[in-house]
Structure formats: C-alpha cells, structure tokens
Amino acid sequence: MLGLALGVWGVFLDSAEALPQTGLWAALHVASLGGTALGLAATWREPRLLRVIGAIVAWRLAYFPIMVFSGHVASIVEWSCLGVGLPVFVYPAFLLNVVWMHTVSALGSSLVVRPPWPWLRWAVAPAFVVAALVSFMKPADFHPLPDRVPTLDAPIPAPRAERANPYFEALVGPGYFPTQRVMLLAAGLTYATIPPSPWATTVKAVLEGDFEVNPHGATADRVREHYLAYHAAHAYLGCRDFAECPLPEAAQP
C-alpha cells in the first residue's frame, strides 16, 4: 500500500505545472520514514529499543545519500522511458527507490546492532561510516533533522546547460574538510554517469552552477541545492530532447 500511495503521489508531482516544494518534501519524508519502518518491522526482535535507535540513526545518516542516489535512479528511468517511447515517470521511481533503500538501510542497522554473526557488523558498518561523512560535512550539519527545507527560502535558479565536471578539480583544491572531499569524490564519479535526457541533464547542470557559487557548502546547503535543481528542471520533465524544449539562450554554453 505504501508503494502504491507513493507511486500515485509521484505521478501527481510529475504532472504538476510547478513542483510543490512542501509536497515533494513531505513525500520524501513519508517514503524515507516508511521504508525505515518497514525495515524495522522485518527485524522486530529483542532488544527492541536498540533496534529502534539504530534504525533512527541509520535514517539520519542515510537520508541525504539516498536522496541523491534516488535522483540518479530517477534520471536513468527517465532516459529509459524516452529510449523506448514510454511516458516519462520520474518522481514515482524517485520515491519508490527512497522506500527501498531506507528499508535496506534499516535492515543494515539491525546487523550492526545485533548481527547473527559478528563479522556481519564489520561488513555493514563501513557503509554507515561513508554515509556519516557525506551527511555531516561541516559543523552546521550536526542537527537531528537531515532535511529542513519544507519551503524554499531562495529563488529558483534558471535552467542552464552543463559545462564541465567541477568536482574533481575541487577535490585537490584548498579549504575543504576531509568529509567534504568524500562528497566531492562521489559527485565527481557520478557526474559522468548522469544520462543525457532533458530533466536529468538540467538537474546536473543547475547543481554544477550552484557548486560554482558555493563550493564549500555544508550538507544542508547541498540538500537545498538539490531541491532548487529539481524545481529548475521541472519544466523539462517529459521533454524528449532539448530541440523540443530548448534551454534559455542566456543559459547556453
């Protein structure tokens, strides 16, 4: 039922003339917390309190990495739909991937809290360490909530064309915390794998522009920037190519 409800919610977001920020923010929280609850329910054995705490910590650590990866999955679904001539579905894929990954995350947290074999704890724990490095890039990120953007407090940037991968060059630049360099490495590796479909390319390009303006941002900044990129790219959702939906002339490289 949760998957069906989120699928319908995603279709509503896809079809909205303007992306509703509160609706998207709420959908991500329902999907992430719903997935966490499913994973917790699947491992509901003693000691229960430790499992609940572990699942909540896993949700906090994994929220932003899962948000980013689910957007990447949605971009692949967009590209695949266009390739075979099907209607484009972006946010249903996005939200369903959030549910699935948070379910896996909660299951993984149970293996850290109470593994059936001791070696499993050390096999799973590194994934949460990496998630923690990405989720807590600067002191400003030490907050109990990973996403504090129910409404936008910044203007939506104009769509733009992609130019070049800025993350690898920044990776060896000055002024970054070690945790930020983990994010730069992940972003740099992901950049080239974003499909060349209109929505995905526009999201990538807007994030590229936001990074150029704020290269030393905290995770909280990156969460907000992802929302801004989704809003900027929303007009291109369903476009089959940029010839059909050209970028503004001023945004061309």
Instruction: Kindly report, residue by residue over 173-212, the tens digit of the pLDDT.
Output: 898 999 999 999 999 999 989 999 999 999 999 999 999 9
Neighbouring C-alpha atoms within 13 Å toward the C-beta of 164 = 4
- Mean local confidence (pLDDT), 29-41: 96
Place of tokens 């699942």: 55
The first and second tokens of residue 131, run together, are 């998630």
Residues whose CB is less than 8 angstroms from the CB of residue 23 and which lie 6 or more positions away in sequence, other chains included: 9, 12, 13, 16
Return phi, psi of residue 193, to 5°.
-100, 0
Taking the model in full, what pTM does it have? 0.94
Assign 154 a pLDDT band (cuts: 50, 70, 90): confident
**Is 131 buried (19+), middle (13-18) or exposed (0-12) by CB count in 10 A?**
buried
> Are the CB atoms for 78 and 94 separated by under 8 Å?
no
**39 in Cβ contact with 107 (< 8 Å):** yes
| Percent of the chain topping pLDDT 70 | 97
Q: What is the dihedral of CA 35, 40, 42, 44, to 10 degrees?
A: -160
User: Which runs of consecutive H residues, i.e. helices, occur in 85-162?
Assistant: 91-113, 118-135
Other CB atoms within a 10 A radius of the CB of residue 96 amount to: 23
Q: Which of 223, 41, 190, 152 is nearest to 182 (CA)?
A: 190
**Of 34-43, 155-164, 220-229, 243-252, minimum mean pLDDT range:** 243-252
- Measured from the Cβ of residue 156, the count of other Cβ atoms closer than 10 Å reads 18
Q: Find the distance separating the first CA and the last CA of the chain, reported in whole Å.
A: 45
Rounded distance between C-alpha atoms, residue 158 and residue 231, angstroms = 9
